[in-house]
């Protein structure tokens, strides 16, 4: 089946590039779309059939589309906006929406796709660039049995673990939003802890070593505070991503009339970092909101 299976990955950032490369490695006929020509060229060199700024030229050949763009506005613009892709896809094509979006947006997108007789899988992902490149992402998905079946070759290619949350669109997005609550709070509290250590004059490499070998460790602490030690805030995942994602967490809680004291504080911290000019830096740059501390500088 895989030799005849045609997929396009839209959004060739750190996650999308890894997903597209995993599809190529699995033997799927793979196309890519991104506004960045360098990303498109890199994917073509990796073995893609083609890559460019639009999927419309090869839309008729596709069995499936995977969207790994930033937010719901971008998903809607690609599928239904100016130069809309949805009308060019064959009826029955499966669309895997893997952006982090609200449950309500996921439902609205699914309804619009249905007007074109297109299937949707509400399938946000996690794991970072390294897991994406290895084809080991975690996928939290909801949708029809048909959508899961049609997207099976892609799920096999990109995921180490696929959670089938249910058939209702929106469930996958909600699970991802709950996950992002934890991810955002973990980064924020990791930054707070390291900032306190810096203020107290504790060498940060020592503090990092202690925490990563003790009960207070988390995956986010271990991963992101290494960036702080390296003085390297080039974005793997930017501060503004967590302004968006924790905003979605907050919106979800508001709709459920549910209090989230820790997530609200973390959102305020990321928003402060963005307001201070660090929005496009790595999300570990949230540590820069603390004054009176000296952080490691990047080694030349």
Catalytic residues: 176
Q: Return left, alpha or beta for 166; rule: phi > 0 is left, psi -120 to 50 is alpha, else beta.
A: left
* Residue 79 near residue 86, CB atoms below 8 Å: yes
- Hunting for tokens 């603390």 — which residue is that? 290
CA distances from 296 to 139, 195, 229 (A): 35, 11, 6
Strand partners, 65: 8, 95
C-alpha closest to that of 233 among 288, 192, 272: 288
Which is it for strands 119-122 and 94-97: parallel, antiparallel or unpaired? parallel
Which phi and psi angles does 254 have, rounded to 5°? -60, -40
* Residue 54 near residue 32, CB atoms below 8 Å: no
Which is it for strands 125-126 and 137-143: parallel, antiparallel or unpaired? antiparallel
Coil, helix or strand for 34?
coil
C-alpha closest to that of 286 among 297, 263, 270: 270
């Amino acid at each position: 089946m895989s030799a005849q299976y045609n997929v396009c990955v839209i959004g060739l950032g750190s996650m999308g590039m890894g997903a597209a490369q995993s599809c190529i490695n699995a033997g799927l006929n793979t196309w890519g779309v991104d506004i960045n020509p360098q990303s498109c060229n890199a994917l073509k060199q990796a073995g893609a059939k083609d890559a460019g700024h639009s999927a419309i030229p090869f839309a008729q050949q596709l069995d499936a589309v995977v969207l790994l763009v930033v937010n719901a506005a971008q998903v809607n613009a690609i599928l239904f906006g100016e130069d809309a892709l949805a009308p060019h896809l064959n009826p029955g094509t499966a669309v895997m929406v893997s952006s982090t979006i609200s449950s309500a947006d996921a439902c609205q997108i699914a309804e619009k796709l249905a007007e074109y007789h297109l299937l949707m899988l509400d399938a946000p992902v996690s794991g970072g660039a390294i897991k994406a490149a290895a084809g080991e992402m975690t996928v939290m998905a909801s949708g029809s049995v048909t959508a899961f079946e049609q997207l099976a070759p892609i799920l096999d290619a990109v995921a180490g673990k696929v959670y089938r949350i249910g058939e209702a669109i929106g469930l996958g997005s909600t699970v991802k939003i709950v996950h992002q609550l934890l991810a955002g709070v973990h980064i924020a509290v990791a930054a707070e802890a390291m900032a306190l250590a810096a203020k107290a004059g504790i060498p940060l490499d020592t503090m990092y070593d202690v925490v990563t070998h003790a009960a207070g460790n988390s995956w986010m602490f271990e991963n992101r505070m290494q960036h702080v030690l390296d003085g390297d805030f080039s974005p793997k995942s930017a501060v503004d991503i967590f302004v968006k994602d924790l905003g979605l967490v907050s919106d979800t809680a508001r709709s459920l009339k549910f209090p989230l004291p820790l997530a609200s504080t973390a959102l305020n911290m990321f928003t402060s970092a963005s307001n201070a000019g660090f929005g496009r830096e790595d999300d570990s740059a949230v540590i820069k909101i603390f004054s009176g501390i000296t952080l490691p500088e990047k080694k030349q």
